Amino acid sequence: MKIFFLLVSAGLVWWILRTLRDSRPSTAKPKIKNMVSCDYCGLHVPEDECIRQNGHNYCSKEHAQKDSG
Ligand SMILES: [Zn+2]
């Protein structure tokens, strides 16, 4: 009977610790980047990674060159 109470209390401690850990608010929020679509292939790329040319957005230099040439 003593072992049963030990198991129950151990399980209770584990459950409380798990609940406290899960309820902790996460500070690391994923940043949502502004996405733009490539004017050549339509692929969506982050705005800060896209290639800008003549007012158009492209996913790569190759597509910028293919669209202009
Ligand atoms: Zn593209």
- Give the pLDDT score at 28: 72
The answer to whether 53 and 38 are in contact (CB under 8 A) is: no
Other beta carbons less than 10 A from residue 36's beta carbon: 19
- Give the pLDDT score at 22: 79
Residue 40 has what DSSP assignment? Answer: T
Q: What is the pLDDT of residues 32-49, one digit of tens each?
A: 789 999 999 999 999 999
Query: From CA 38, how far away is CA 59, in angstroms rounded?
Result: 5
- Give the pLDDT score at 42: 97
Distance 23 CA to ligand 1 centre (A): 42
Distance 37 CA to ligand 1 centre (A): 8
Distance 50 CA to ligand 1 centre (A): 9
Biggest CA-to-CA distance, the chain: 84
Is 90 exceeded by the pLDDT of residue 21? no
Mean pLDDT, residues 9-24 taken together: 89
Distance 31 CA to ligand 1 centre (A): 23
**Does this model's pTM top 0.85?**
no
